[in-house]
Amino acid sequence: MKTQNKNLIILFPGRSYSAENPLLYYAEFKYAIKEYEIIKVDYGDCLQKAKSFDNAVENIKKHVAGQIKSVDFSQYVDIVFISKSLGTVVAGWLSEELGVENIRHIYLTPINETIPYIKHGKNISVVIAGTNDRYLESDALKKHCENEKVPLELIEGVDHSLEVLGEMNMNIDILKRVVELY
């Protein structure tokens, strides 16, 4: 049974982007103020032990599923998966595995392997990426999101970290813009 106003966010970090980095740190901060329960998944040593990227992703999926297996999702009114890079693949997969209808996604800098999960009807609040992301071509992402009728915030000139190298003030403005979208 859902308790009124009981909400949850789960943070899915990237390969080299922890939940302590700005995009996820401020996501946690914003939702903590709203009294959401917070789970930060980790990938243990899955990346170090993997023989390939695909192998790492499969091991991470199992590892994360084990971390959240005791969560009773039925008690939450709002469940938000906020994911970054590699975490977008894991979050998309986990959402499908769980089959929980009230999960909504905020995808930060998805990678090619995330595309199958970015679909109309998958309760995606927003996909956020930069035009200079080296892991996913921004025009292809834009076309995909348009075809799927998925909200996309494409930020001009920023890289996979949603930053512009050496531009502190600009990066702070970008971070503010992204946090407003959460």
**pLDDT in tens for each of the 182 residues of the chain?**
555 679 999 999 999 899 999 999 999 999 999 999 999 999 988 888 889 999 999 999 999 999 999 999 999 999 999 999 999 999 999 999 998 989 999 999 999 999 999 999 999 999 999 999 999 999 999 999 999 999 999 999 999 999 999 999 999 999 999 999 99
Give the per-residue pLDDT at 1: 54
Give the per-residue pLDDT at 71: 96
Give the per-residue pLDDT at 48: 86
What is the Cα–Cα distance from 31 to 117, expressed in whole angstroms?
24
H or E element at residue 140: helix 138-148
DSSP state of 21: S
What is the Cα–Cα distance from 68 to 144, expressed in whole angstroms?
30
Question: The domain 7-181 is classified under which CATH number: 3.40.190.10, 3.40.50.1820, 2.40.160.20, 1.25.60.10?
Answer: 3.40.50.1820
Q: 104: which 2 tokens?
A: 């909504």
Q: How many CA atoms lie within 13 A of 167 on its CB side?
A: 13
Q: Residue ranges per domain, the chain?
A: 7-181
Q: 112: closest CA among 132, 133, 97, 94?
A: 133
Give the per-residue pLDDT at 57: 93
What is the Cα–Cα distance from 4 to 39, expressed in whole angstroms?
19
Give the per-residue pLDDT at 3: 55
Give the per-residue pLDDT at 63: 95
Q: How many CA atoms lie within 13 A of 176 on its CB side?
A: 6
Give the per-residue pLDDT at 85: 97
Q: 43: closest CA among 66, 23, 22?
A: 66
H or E element at residue 171: helix 168-181
